[in-house]
Amino acid sequence: MSDNDLPDNEHPENTEFDFAAAMSGVTRIKNDRADLRGQPKKLKLADDQTTRYKRQMAVQDEEMIVDGLNSEVINLVETEDELIYASPGVQLKLMKRLKQGHIPWDAGLDLHGYIIDDARTELSSFIRECSNRQLRCVMVIHGKSNSVESQHALMKSYANDWLRQMDQVIAFSSAQPKDGGTGALYVLLKRAR
């Protein structure tokens, strides 16, 4: 079939669209509102074991794990609690220097304003990057939480748990008052071999 055999409206050079021709045979809807008078059919819910299991899994909170760190806090701590941790083999003399703020820190991360999942991702990335850069000591500011007295400080609790799970971290201690006190941590990283 050549271009000459096509009707006038189908020639390649004829690019205008004839809307009226395209709509011929279509009847206009007279009502612009939905018909809500009819009763919807009730769906019968399946009630087998597989369906019950799927429903149960759908309503459970999704547990996110980032770099081996989960969103479940293990040990809740209070706002003014001092934190201290040392992995096996860390010398007492080194821990005293860390706690007293005598080991200068090379980089810092402030977790204020982060939601828990974002804080976990940021902390994990920060520690990994600092370790790759072969930094020895870093500071993590988790804050003290503006909660009611005797209430737990969530970000502080999470930071406490997450840092203990990281292979690169060999020790940490609450900071000196000049560096944030119980709202921040000095974190000692493994030396590169």
At 36 the pLDDT is 65
The closest of 9, 3, 42, 5 to 24, measured between CA atoms, is 9
Q: Mean per-residue pLDDT for 54-83? A: 66
At 29 the pLDDT is 76
pLDDT (tens digit per residue) in 135-162: 999 999 998 875 555 556 788 989 999 9
Where do we find the tokens 């009763």?
39
At 138 the pLDDT is 95
pLDDT (tens digit per residue) in 24-64: 888 877 777 766 666 666 666 666 777 776 666 666 555 55
User: Cα 58 from chain centroid?
Assistant: 19
Residue 69 has pLDDT above 70, yes or no: no
CB burial class (10 A; 0-12, 13-18, 19+) of residue 138? buried
CA distances from 153 to 14, 63, 80, 81, 83 (A): 72, 21, 9, 9, 12
Residue positions counted in the chain:
193
At 31 the pLDDT is 74
The three-state secondary structure class of 153 is coil
- Say if domain 84-189 classifies as CATH 3.40.50.2300: no
Residue 133 has pLDDT above 80, yes or no: yes
